[in-house]
C-alpha cells in the first residue's frame, strides 16, 4: 500500500496497481506500479502527487466510519492515559466501525486486541476495515459485553457504549489490579451514571479535550472548530 | 516496584523494601516486603493504601521535572498523531527531564529512542529518571541538534526547543519520507517561525489542546483549569 | 470617590480624605484630599499611584462577594444578550452580594432594578455594597421568588438560584411578551431541569463562556485559567 | 416594527403592513396589520408564528454585515468590560457594517455615539442599517482615525481596525483619564503590536472569549462551534 498526497493535503490510499482517477486527473497503471516513497507523480492534467508510505493515522482517517466515531485526539488520549504499549492486553466494546480497534491494535501488537459488538452490520464494516489495512491482530466477536467478558487479566477495558455502567461489574472481574477502564460518551449524563456505578474500588477522572486548530498564515485560530466529541472517563481498578 | 494509592488518590512509588513514611503514617518494612497488587495496607495511624503495579503514566507523573514540562495530554497527542508503535525509530531534542523520552520509549520498545540535549544538568536529571524507572531503551546524548543528527531513516523527530526552526534542515535529512516532525512550543510566535521554515516538502498542522476536568459529583467543570501548555506542530515529510 | 492604580495594576478605591496605607507605603491626608484624575501620587516609600475616576467595573471587582459570584464576563453576557439599556425593567433573584444588581442598575438607570433574596445576611452585604458605591436605583426586597413576583411588564427576569425552575411560572406572568428570562447555574444538571421546565412558550439557548487571558510579552495564553463559572440559559417569552 | 418567531426559532423582522412570504407559507396584509405582541399567526400552509417586539439583539442579528463582523458575545464583552451606560461618550472606528455602533448606541442613548470609517461602501451599509432600525443617536463620519480624533473627554474609544496601533496616539489625547481603549483583532499578531504600542500610560489586558453552546436534550455541547472571532484588548488610560 502507498499513500498519495496532493497539493491541498488530500490523501489517497492506493492498493494494487490499477490506474487511479482523482478529480485532479488520472495516474496511469504504470505510474502507480513503479511509484515508491519520495516520488512525485504528475497526472494527465498536470497536477502533482507525493508518494509516501501510509501510517496508522492514515488508516484511521480512511476507515469507513459512523457519524459519531472518535477523532484522532480521543484515540490518542485513551492510549496515552492508560499507558498502552506492545503486549498490553486490551478488550474493547463496542467495535463500531473499528477505528479505535485499529489504532490500539497498532500499539499493542503483536498482542491480539479483542473487540465486542452486538450489531452484525457494524461488525461487518469493522472487519472490512481491518482487512483493507491488513491488520491481523484483532479478534472481533459478535458478543454483548453487558452479559460478560471472556478475557481475563486485562490491562485495559475500553468502552464506547450507550450504557457503559452495565459493563462495569464485568470489567471489574476481567481487569488486572491496576488496570484501566476507559469510557467515551457524548453526553455528560452518561458519564455521570458511569461514574456513580464505579464504587470504591476505582480511582477515576472524567474530562473532555478540545483541539483548536490554528491558521498560521494569519496567526489566529480557525473560525470553525469541532466543539465536542465526547467526555472521557479514565478509571483504574485498585481492588475488587 | 509497586505503587501505593491512598484514599485521596495520591500515589507513592515504592522501590526496595524499606519501611515507608507518609503524612498518613508509617508502613513497616514487613508490610512493604510482603505487599502484592490488590492488597490493602493499613498504616500505624489507621489509614489504608491500595497496592497496584505501576504503569508508565505513573512514571511520567513521578519523574523529576522542570516547570514547563509537557503534560500527559501532550505526550499522548504527540505519540498518537504520529502513529508510534513498537519498533518506531524516534529522535527527541531536547531531553529536558526526560518525561517525553520515557513515555515514547515505552511505546517504541524494544527499539531504542535517541534523545539529545546540550545541557549537562538536564541530561543528569533525565538519566536519573531513566534509571529510577528501569527504562533501558533510551540513548541519551549530550549533543546539539542544531549542528546535525546522527540517526537516519527516522519515523519521528520530536522537538521541545527554543528555536525549533534551526533543527528543521537536519530533520529533513534524518527523517524517512512520510516520517513526522513534531514540535512543542509555549509561544505561538515560535510556532509561526517554525511553520515558516518548513517549506514545500512538508505537510503540517498547528494546534493546541485543552483538557477540561469535570467535578462529577456536581456535574460541572472544575473552576481551576490548566489554560495552556504548548502549541503543537505536526509536520510530515513528503519530499526532500 | 477616586481610584488609585499602582504599578502592578492593583486598584484601591478611596472614599473621604483620610491618609491611606498600602503595602507600598503611606499616602498622606493632604495628598488624598488634593488628588484629581491624572495625578501621580508618590508614597513615603517612593512608590507611585495613578489617580483615576472609578467605573462600575471597579465597583464590581471591589464589592464584597461570596465564593461563587459571577465574573465580569458573565455580567456582560447577561446584559448584552438581553439587550438592556436605560429604562429597561429588570427583576433579579437572588441578590447574593449584589454584584449583578450593581452592574445591571448602572445600565438601566434611571429605572429602578428590583432584586429579591430570602437570606437576611446576603441582603445585608448587598445593601452595604450598594451604599458603598452610592448606587440608589436598586430596590432590594427580602422575598422568596418561588412564591411570586410583584413586578409586571418586565424586560428581564434574571436568576441565580439553586432551583431556578421553581421561579419559571412566576416569571412567565411577570415578563412582557418578548421579554427575557436568564439563569446562571454552576451545574449543567440545574440548567437541564430549568430548560425542561420552560415549555412551548419560550425560545431558549444554553451555553457557557470561557475567557482566556493572554500573556502578551510571551505571546501565549496564561497557564492558569478560570475553567468554569456557570452555565447561562437565555430564554425569551413568546407567548403565555 | 415587530418580530415573528417560527417553530424553529427563526426570526423575521417586519416593517410596514404588506403581506409576508416565508418558506413556511404566506401571512396576509390583514394578519400583519392587526398583529400585536403575544399573537400567534397561522400561515396559509398551517405553520404558526409568534409575534413579539424586537430587541436590539434582533437588530444586531438582522443587520447586513460583512464576513468578520463581531458576534453578540464580543459586543457584550466590550460594553461590559468598559462599564458603558446611558450618557457614556464613545468613539468607534471602523464602522464596518455598523453592528457594534447599533449595539453600543442602544446603551449610551440619549448620548450620540461617533463612528469613523474611511470606506464609503461600508459607511453606506451602516447608514442603511441605522435607518432600518430607526437608530438616530449615531453620528457616522467618513474619516480616517489614523489622522486624528475630533471628539474629546471620551469614556471609550473602540477599535476594529487592521492597524489599531496607529490610532493609539490620537486615542490617548481624546480619552478622559480613566477612560477605556478597546480593540478587536482576528490575529494575535495585531494584538501584540497594539499592546507594544500602548506604553506606560495604559493598564491593559488581552484575552479571547469562547461561547460553547449546549444541546440540552442530549446534555452535551454542540459538535460545531465558532472556534474564534477575535482577540480583545481592553486598555485603560492612567496618565497621558
Query: Which H helix or E strand runs over B37?
Result: none
Establish if B82 touches chain A: CB-CB under 8 angstroms: yes
How many Cα neighbours within 13 Å face the side chain of B175? 30
What distance lies between CA B142 and its chain's CA centroid? 19
What percent of chain A lies above the pLDDT cut of 90? 90
Quick check: A183 pLDDT over 70?
A: yes
Query: Which H helix or E strand runs over A51?
Result: strand A48-52
Quick check: B41 pLDDT over 90?
A: yes
Q: Determine the Cα–Cα distance for residues A219 and A217; give it in Å rounded to an integer.
A: 6
Q: Determine the Cα–Cα distance for residues C223 and C220; give it in Å rounded to an integer.
A: 9
Q: Which of residues 101-120 of B touch A (CB under 8 A)?
A: 103, 106-107, 109
Mean pLDDT of A52-77: 88
Establish if A228 touches chain D: CB-CB under 8 angstroms: yes
**What is the fold of B2-52?**
Vcp-like ATPase; Chain A, domain 2 (3.10.330)
State how far residue C226 is from chain B, nearest Cα, in angstroms: 5
Residue B23: other Cβ atoms inside 10 A: 8
Q: Which residues of B touch C231 (CB under 8 A)?
A: 220
Q: Cell 504527540: give the residue.
A: B78
Establish if C191 touches chain D: CB-CB under 8 angstroms: yes
Residue D66 buriedness (CB in 10 A; 0-12 / 13-18 / 19+): exposed
The answer to whether C225 contacts B226, with C-beta atoms less than 8 Å apart, is: yes
- List, for residues D131-181, the tens digit of each pLDDT value: 999 999 999 999 999 999 999 999 999 999 999 999 999 999 999 999 999
State how far residue A223 is from chain D, nearest Cα, in angstroms: 5
CB D145 within 8 A of CB D161: yes
List the chains bordering chain D where 3 or more Cβ pairs fall under 8 Å.
Answer: A, C
Question: Domain B57-237 is classified in which CATH homologous superfamily?
Answer: Vaccinia Virus protein VP39 (3.40.50.150)
Query: Which H helix or E strand runs over D74?
Result: helix D72-81
CB D240 within 8 A of CB D201: yes
All CATH 3.10.330.20 domain ranges of chain A, comma separated, are: 2-52
Q: Cell 524517512: give the residue.
A: B176
The answer to whether D221 contacts A212, with C-beta atoms less than 8 Å apart, is: no
Q: Which residues of C touch D109 (CB under 8 A)?
A: 85-86
The answer to whether C72 contacts D50, with C-beta atoms less than 8 Å apart, is: no
Q: Which residues of C touch D51 (CB under 8 A)?
A: 177
Q: Which residues of C touch B226 (CB under 8 A)?
A: 223-225
Q: Determine the Cα–Cα distance for residues B77 and A123; give it in Å rounded to an integer.
A: 28
Q: Cell 504520529: give the residue.
A: B82
Residue C216: other Cβ atoms inside 10 A: 19
According to the model, what pLDDT value does residue C61 have? Answer: 87
Q: Which residues of B touch A238 (CB under 8 A)?
A: 5, 50, 52
Q: Which residue of B has its CA nearest to C221?
A: B228
Q: Which residues of C touch B223 (CB under 8 A)?
A: 226-229
Quick check: B203 pLDDT over 80?
A: yes
Q: Which residues of D126-152 are buried (b: 16+ CB within 10 A; e: fewer)?
A: beebbebbebeebebbebebbeebebe
Q: Which residues of D touch C239 (CB under 8 A)?
A: 38, 40, 50
According to the model, what pLDDT value does residue D54 have? Answer: 93
State how far residue A144 is from chain B, nearest Cα, in angstroms: 28
Q: Which residues of A touch B177 (CB under 8 A)?
A: 37-38, 51-53
Chains A and B: how many Cβ contacts under 8 Å?
162
The answer to whether A223 contacts D226, with C-beta atoms less than 8 Å apart, is: yes
List, in order, residues 6 or more apart from A210 with CB less than 8 Å away: A225, A227, B209, B210, B212
The dihedral region occupied by B208, where left means phi > 0, alpha psi between -120 and 50, and beta the remainder, is: beta
Q: Which residues of A touch D189 (CB under 8 A)?
A: 219
Alpha helices in C41-140 (DSSP H): 56-62, 72-81, 99-108, 120-132
- List, for residues C110-139, the tens digit of each pLDDT value: 999 999 999 999 889 999 999 999 999 999
The answer to whether A223 contacts D227, with C-beta atoms less than 8 Å apart, is: yes
List the chains bordering chain A where 3 or more Cβ pairs fall under 8 Å.
Answer: B, D
The answer to whether B239 contacts A188, with C-beta atoms less than 8 Å apart, is: no
Q: Determine the Cα–Cα distance for residues D154 and D167; give it in Å rounded to an integer.
A: 14
All CATH 3.40.50.150 domain ranges of chain B, comma separated, are: 57-237
- List, for residues B112-151, the tens digit of each pLDDT value: 999 999 999 988 999 999 999 999 999 999 999 999 999 9
List, in order, residues 6 or more apart from D139 with CB less than 8 Å away: D112, D113, D114, D115
CB B77 within 8 A of CB B43: no
Residue A41: other Cβ atoms inside 10 A: 18
Q: Which residue of A has its CA nearest to B194?
A: A216
Strands (DSSP E) found in chain B: 2-6, 11-14, 20-22, 25-27, 40-42, 48-52, 90-93, 113-117, 138-142, 154-159, 175-185, 202-215, 220-221, 224-226, 231-237
Q: Which residue of A has its CA nearest to B191?
A: A216
Test the D interface: residue of A220, A222, A231, A232 with most D CBs within 10 Å:
A220
Q: Which residues of B touch C67 (CB under 8 A)?
A: none
Bridge pairing between strands A154-159 and C175-185 = unpaired
Q: Which of C186, C212, C221 sits opposite B220 (nearest CB)?
A: C186
Establish if A218 touches chain D: CB-CB under 8 angstroms: yes
According to the model, what pLDDT value does residue D61 have? Answer: 87
CB B232 within 8 A of CB B183: yes
Q: Determine the Cα–Cα distance for residues A97 and A94; give it in Å rounded to an integer.
A: 9
Q: Determine the Cα–Cα distance for residues A174 and A194; give it in Å rounded to an integer.
A: 17
pTM: 0.95
Residuewise pLDDT in 10s, chain D (240 residues): 899 999 888 999 998 889 999 889 999 999 999 999 999 999 999 999 999 999 999 999 888 776 667 999 999 999 999 999 999 999 999 999 999 999 999 999 999 999 999 999 988 999 999 999 999 999 999 999 999 999 999 999 999 999 999 999 999 999 999 999 999 999 999 999 999 999 999 999 999 999 999 999 999 999 999 999 999 999 999 999
| A67 — pLDDT class (breaks 50, 70, 90) | low
- For chain C, list residues with pLDDT below 50: none
Query: Which H helix or E strand runs over C208?
Result: strand C202-215
CB B101 within 8 A of CB B109: no
Q: Determine the Cα–Cα distance for residues C180 and C172; give it in Å rounded to an integer.
A: 10
Q: Determine the Cα–Cα distance for residues C24 and C42; give it in Å rounded to an integer.
A: 10
How many helices (H) and strands (E) are present in chain B, helices listed first?
Answer: 7, 15
CA dihedral over A173, A175, A178, A184, signed as positive or negative: negative
CB A195 within 8 A of CB B216: yes
Amino acid at each position: 500500500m502507498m499513500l498519495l498526497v496532493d497539493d491541498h493535503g488530500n490523501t489517497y490510499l492506493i492498493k494494487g496497481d490499477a490506474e487511479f482517477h482523482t478529480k485532479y486527473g488520472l495516474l496511469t497503471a504504470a505510474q502507480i506500479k513503479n511509484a515508491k516513497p519520495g516520488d512525485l507523480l504528475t497526472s494527465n492534467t498536470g497536477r502533482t502527487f507525493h508518494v509516501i508510505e501510509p501510517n496508522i493515522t492514515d488508516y484511521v482517517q480512511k476507515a469507513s466510519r459512523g457519524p459519531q466515531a472518535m477523532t484522532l485526539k480521543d484515540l490518542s488520549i485513551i492510549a496515552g492515559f492508560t499507558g498502552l504499549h506492545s503486549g498490553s492486553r486490551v478488550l474493547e466494546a463496542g467495535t463500531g466501525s473499528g477505528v479505535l480497534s485499529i489504532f490500539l491494535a497498532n500499539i499493542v501488537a503483536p498482542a491480539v486486541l479483542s473487540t465486542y459488538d452486538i450489531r452484525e452490520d457494524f461488525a461487518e464494516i469493522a472487519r472490512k476495515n481491518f482487512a483493507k489495512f491488513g491488520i491481523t491482530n484483532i479478534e472481533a466477536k459478535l458478543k454483548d459485553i453487558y452479559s460478560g467478558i471472556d478475557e481475563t487479566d486485562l490491562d485495559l477495558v475500553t468502552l464506547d457504549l450507550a450504557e457503559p455502567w452495565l459493563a462495569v461489574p464485568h470489567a471489574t472481574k476481567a481487569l488486572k489490579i491496576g488496570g484501566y477502564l476507559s469510557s467515551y460518551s457524548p453526553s455528560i449524563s452518561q458519564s455521570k451514571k458511569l461514574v456513580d456505578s464505579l464504587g470504591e474500588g476505582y480511582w477515576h477522572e472524567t474530562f473532555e479535550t478540545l483541539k483548536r486548530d490554528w491558521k498560521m498564515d494569519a496567526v489566529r485560530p480557525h473560525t470553525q472548530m469541532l466543539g465536542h466529541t465526547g467526555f472521557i472517563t479514565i478509571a483504574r481498578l485498585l481492588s475488587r
